[in-house]
Each structure stands twice: as C-alpha cells, then as structure tokens.
Chain A
Amino acid sequence: AQTVTQSQPEMSVQEAETVTLSCTYDTSESDYYLFWYKQPPSRQMILVIRQEAYKQQNATENRFSVNFQKAAKSFSLKISDSQLGDAAMYFCAYRSGTYGGSQGNLIFGKGTKLSVKP
C-alpha cells in the first residue's frame, strides 16, 4: 500500500522569505501523480500544484514550486516570497496512475501547519 509522510507538523516563515515543506512517499508503482493541497482556516481544500511522475521537470505555479526526486521518493514544496495569505495547513497527496490500483483516490499525508510572521 502507498503511504505519504510529512515529517514537519509545523513550520514558520517570515513574510517575504522562502520556506520548503517536505514530503516523502512510498510506492512500488512507476506511474503516479503527486499533489500539494492547501487548507486555510476556512477548511476549503485548494489545489496548489501537481506533478506527474513521468515528467522530469519540476512543476511550478507562480510562487510555488516543487522539488521532485523520484528515486528518493521525495516531493517537497517551496513557497517563495511568502505572504500572510499562505498561512494554512498543507497536505501532500499521492494518486496512483495505474488503472486497477487505488482507482484514483488521493492518499494524504498528515499535513504541515505553516505560519507566516509579519
């Protein structure tokens, strides 16, 4: 079974600085997808970024980028120029790309609570 581990329960960053959130996963599959979701105090789950395992290039979305290391099974999220609105829980998630596997549901890590200091 696939597992996702976020080893940092809480992180803090100064406004305008850069922070990196860690995520590791365990799988025997070669085809899969990885996601970072943000959950602000409103509790809404918001997609931040996604990465296809078959792509070597790291995904980027504005101030958000990932460092995807397939061999190490690592998928970290870097937030540049942190803003107060980035304060939230961040969840790393795995999704099988193998049909007949987990049928497409997301497997989540426990989350990292990010605080942004003004």
Chain B
Amino acid sequence: DSGVTQTPKHLITATGQRVTLRCSPRSGDLSVYWYQQSLDQGLQFLIHYYNGEERAKGNILERFSAQQFPDLHSELNLSSLELGDSALYFCASSVASGILGETQYFGPGTRLLVL
C-alpha cells in the first residue's frame, strides 16, 4: 500500500458525460501528479499540482481539468467524454515540488470505461 488513495476504483459512463476522479496523496506529500495509461498511448503525464498550484501540464486535453484543494487532495475532471478516453488514470504523490528528484508513489488507479 503506497498510502495514495484514489476513488472510485472503476467508473463506467457514456460518451458525452462528465466524471470526476479523486486522489488523496500520502500524508505530508505536497505534490500530486496525474497520469493516463492507455493501450495505444502508454503511460502519459497529464498535469502536476504542488501545494494547490498548477506546476506543469503534459498531454492533457482541453476537455480535462484538475485542481488541488487546501487539504491537498486533488480532483481530475473529464468532460465531453469520448470512447478514446477509456483508460486507467493514476495519481502519484511526492513530498516536494519535483526539483529534488524525490520518488513518486502511485495510487491504485481509477479504471474509466466510456461506452
């Protein structure tokens, strides 16, 4: 158990819908990273938050957004869902902002299926 929690574990929804994925980092960790794992794209970085502020964006679609709250949990919002958004979404947390090369610990992931 990495100490990172993600809810829900599974999500099935229809095209055009909107969903919210939730992540709680390890106690004391200030950074949250979101990654998407799909068969065709592999593991891709989406977005990074540090202590409530957005730090970096990767291959995140405009239909996707995220935020980190004062209690440091984070939510990833996916809207206007398409079949191709079906994937495993991971969040990872680390203690600092990333410049120290600190290890990222991954949550169990949320498996999203868009029908």
Q: Interface size bucket, B side?
A: 20 to 34
Q: Mark A41-80, 1 if CB is under 8 A from B, else 0.
A: 0111111001010000000000000000000000000000
Q: Is the CB of A43 within 8 A of B108?
A: yes
Contacts of B56 in A (CB 8 A): 102-105
| Minimal beta-carbon separation of A67 from chain B (angstroms) | 20
Q: Mark A9-37, 1 if CB is under 8 A from B, else 0.
A: 00000000000000000000000110101
Q: Is the CB of A106 within 8 A of B45?
A: yes
Q: Tell which of B45, B88, B98 has the most Cβ of chain A within 10 Å.
A: B98
CA separation between A82 and B33, bound complex, in Å?
A: 32
Q: Is the CB of B42 within 8 A of A110?
A: yes
Contact check: which of B2, B44, B98 meets A103 at CB < 8 Å?
B98
Total inter-chain residue pairs, C-beta < 8 Å = 66
Contacts of A37 in B (CB 8 A): 106
CA separation between A91 and B56, bound complex, in Å?
A: 22
Q: Does B68 contact A (CB under 8 A)?
A: no
The secondary structure that dominates the B interface is: strand
Q: Does A107 contact B (CB under 8 A)?
A: yes
Given A103-B55, A104-B98, A105-B56, answer yes or no on A47-B103 (Cβ-Cβ < 8 Å).
Answer: yes
* Segment 60-97 of B: residues with Cβ below 8 Å from A: 88, 90, 92, 94, 97
Contacts of A32 in B (CB 8 A): 101
Q: Which residue of A lies closest to B46 (CB)?
A: A105
Q: Does B5 contact A (CB under 8 A)?
A: no
Contacts of A105 in B (CB 8 A): 33, 45, 48, 56, 58, 98
CA separation between A97 and B102, bound complex, in Å?
A: 10
Q: Which residue of A lies closest to B88 (CB)?
A: A43
Residues of B whose CB lies within 8 Å of any CB of A are 2, 31, 33, 35, 42-45, 48, 55-56, 58, 88, 90, 92, 94, 97-99, 101, 103-106, 108-109, 111
Q: Which 4 pairs between the two chains have the least Cβ-Cβ distance?
A: A104-B98, A103-B56, A45-B106, A108-B43
14 A–B contact pairs at CB < 8 A? A32-B101, A35-B103, A44-B106, A44-B109, A45-B106, A97-B101, A104-B48, A104-B101, A105-B98, A106-B92, A108-B43, A110-B42, A111-B42, A111-B43
